[in-house]
Structure 1
């Protein structure tokens, strides 16, 4: 049978759970958000001989952005062009949504060592819009519960603003999106933000002293989610603070002191 790409359905969940279990050492998030994505729509699967072996999601973000996420191929089927097939399908979907004026551009983020995704992006007209460092830290033993506050436009401090592994543009529409999809935490007058149900955070001031003071609160949120640690996103312009962040307990995912998260954009 020829491969087919169709909208994901509830019956596909066992296949998605298998792909998720075999991705990122079993730490992939896809299985956890499957039901939410099916409900949201624009969630697609690639089926081969009755088996779902790939996925992709197109999420509409503020600023008329079509955000590509969840692009996966089962390890047993990689290297056969299926990833490119899904990628091209999403590009065509983006063009249709652009014709309806729903979106104006496609964007996505990937780890800098994901050579296949980077190569496909470059070959299909994407360019790097922004770069970030993602660093990790253990939850630790000293924890402190932060308060939750309402976000405002003043909290969107960057032109490209990370909320977990989604990156938004600074506009009024973003604030409403944050109220529905993110949590803004505060401890001792210092604020950080993360996605609902997630532990990848962005501090509104990413300096070492601020992050050191926020670590007990970030650790508290991680523990509430039954996690042993958390991640933070740091703008590439803050590369000079990496040594200071290491001294307070943060580590890069790799040994290279270069931005390891790339945000791509393609105007359509």
Structure 2
């Protein structure tokens, strides 16, 4: 039987949760975002002989960006071309949305070791437009402190230029991004400093500023939020152009994933 790609349905959740449990050592976020993605739309599954064995999602972001995410294939069904099948389907979907004027480009992010996806993307005309270091720190050696709820009043509060990291999504710094952040990110305040956490995706923390002094102030509050979600690490993205802060973050206990000398998170873009 040939595989089919179709919109996700509520009854697909057990299959999605099974894939999530077998991805990233069981720390995949797909199970948590399933209902939100159903409501949002452009959420698809690959079905083979009545079983969902793959997923993919296109999310509309500010500045008419179609963000590709959630591409997964069940480990038992990998190496059969299903990942490429889903990828090609989303390229076609992106082109359709571009023709309707809904988006003007596709973007996605990936880890530098994801060689297969990177090669596939470059072949399809995607280009790297931004690079980041992802850094992490164990929560065990910091005394937690509960933050207060807050909000973002202006994009000027954020030091990030061009792209604003929100988990593994990267949002164009345009006027409409402010309203998007108010809807899609949780903002916390601690010692007169702020940080964000994505509401419904990968949970990398976003300090409003990246200086050692600023991060040290919010560190106990980020630890509190991580522990409340049973997370063992705090992770955050550092733009390539802020490479100079990496050493001061090391002094706070942060380490670059895989001890990379070069940025290890890549943002790709394909324009229509």
- What is residue 244 of structure 1 aligned with on the other side? 248
Shift of 1:236: 1.0
Alignment deviations for residues 181-209 of structure 1 (CA, whole Å, 9 cap, x no partner): 10222222222222126641122221223
Shift of 1:142: 1.2
Deviates more, 1:115-124 or 1:220-229: 220-229
Correspondence 1:94 to 2:94: yes
Alignment deviations for residues 140-170 of structure 1 (CA, whole Å, 9 cap, x no partner): 4412222332212213432111011111001
**Alpha-carbon distance change, 201 to 183 in structure 1, aligned in 2, over 3 angstroms:** same
Superposed, 1:44-193 pairs within 5 Å as 44-140=44-140, 141-151=142-152, 152-156=154-158, 157-193=160-196
Shift of 1:260: 1.0
Deviates more, 1:113-122 or 1:138-147: 138-147
Gaps of at least 5 residues in structure 1 are none
Q: Distance in 1 between matches of 2:157 and 2:63?
A: 17
Alignment deviations for residues 196-233 of structure 1 (CA, whole Å, 9 cap, x no partner): 26641122221223222221111111122232322111
Shift of 1:14: 1.4
Q: Distance in 1 between matches of 2:206 and 2:151?
A: 16
So what's the TM-score if we normalise by structure 1?
Answer: 0.95
Shift of 1:43: 0.3
Q: Distance in 2 between matches of 1:103 and 1:69?
A: 16
Q: Distance in 2 between matches of 1:265 and 1:178?
A: 21
Is the Cα–Cα contact under 8 Å of residues 202 and 234 in structure 1 kept in the other structure? Answer: no
- What is residue 235 of structure 1 aligned with on the other side? 239
- What is residue 223 of structure 1 aligned with on the other side? 227
Shift of 1:98: 0.7
So what's the TM-score if we normalise by structure 2?
Answer: 0.94
Shift of 1:245: 1.4
Q: Distance in 1 between matches of 2:203 and 2:77?
A: 31
- What is residue 14 of structure 2 aligned with on the other side? 14
Deviates more, 1:28-37 or 1:84-93: 28-37
Q: Distance in 2 between matches of 1:202 and 1:212?
A: 13
Alignment deviations for residues 119-156 of structure 1 (CA, whole Å, 9 cap, x no partner): 11101010011011111112244122223322122134
Superposed, 1:188-203 pairs within 5 Å as 188-196=191-199, 199-203=203-207
- What is residue 25 of structure 1 aligned with on the other side? 25
Structure 1: which 4+ aligned runs deviate by more than 3 Å?
none
Correspondence 1:254 to 2:246: no
Backbone CA RMSD of aligned residues? 1.5
